[in-house]
Amino acid sequence: MARDYVEQIRTVQPDGPYHLLGWSFGGLLAQHMVVLLQRQSHKVGDRGHSGQPPAAQPLRQHG
């Protein structure tokens, strides 16, 4: 899901910085998207979580 969202965002805005905000599960999803974008050497600006503490460990990428 995070990979698909990153692709969709990049079709609208090919270059960063990207500003992401997520609430509850969306906070974890936004954090995963930040990791994916940074691994692709894209700049990430503001990021926020609302209603969900940040993940204690980086999310692992499957597949």
User: Angle between the 2-12 and 25-39 helix axes, to the nearest 10 degrees?
Assistant: 70
- How big is the CA angle at 23 (ends 46 and 2), to the nearest 5 degrees? 75
Chain segment 18-57, per-residue pLDDT in tens: 999 888 888 889 999 999 999 999 999 887 766 655 566 6
Which residues form the catalytic set? 24
pTM of the model: 0.74
Cα dist from 34 to 21, 23, 54, whole Å: 10, 15, 12
- Count of C-beta atoms within a 10 Å radius of residue 29: 18
Determine contact, residues 16/37, Cβ cutoff 8 Å.
yes
